[in-house]
Homo-oligomer: A and B are copies of this chain.
Amino acid sequence: MIIEKAASQLEALGNVTRLQIYRALVRAGDDGLPVGRLQEKLEIPASTLSHHLKRLIDTGLVIQDRQATTLICTANYKHMNALIGYLADECCADAGCLKQTRETVA
């Protein structure tokens, strides 16, 4: 994980609307959610949602798969996991920090 990638992913998540989108996708699980369903949930215009989704997709945090006319969005846990790992390993060094937690488990 290079710092530029971590920063761009953090920035993508660093917006309330986008964080809500991501959280909704996580809660939807592996089945994901169609863009339209996301729109209903968040109650924002389609174009606004589309722009935010693009940001999340560009950074790899969200995946889109077309199913006929609808686009299904799913959270890319692998990338989120890598990001959390980066934060824990590179950016946390406290005794009560997750870094130790991870090392203990590993």
Binding site for B on A (CB under 8 A): 3-4, 6-16, 18-20, 22-23, 26-27, 29, 75, 77-78, 80-81, 83-85, 87-88, 90-94, 96-98, 101-102, 104-105
- The answer to whether B96 and A77 have CB atoms under 8 Å apart is yes
CA distance A85 to B94 in the complex (A): 14
Chain B residue with the shortest CB-CB distance to A96: B81
- The answer to whether A102 and B92 have CB atoms under 8 Å apart is no
Copies in the complex: 2
Partner of A15, one of B11, B19, B75, B83: B11
Q: Which residues of B contact A88 (CB under 8 A)?
A: 84, 98
CA distance A102 to B84 in the complex (A): 12
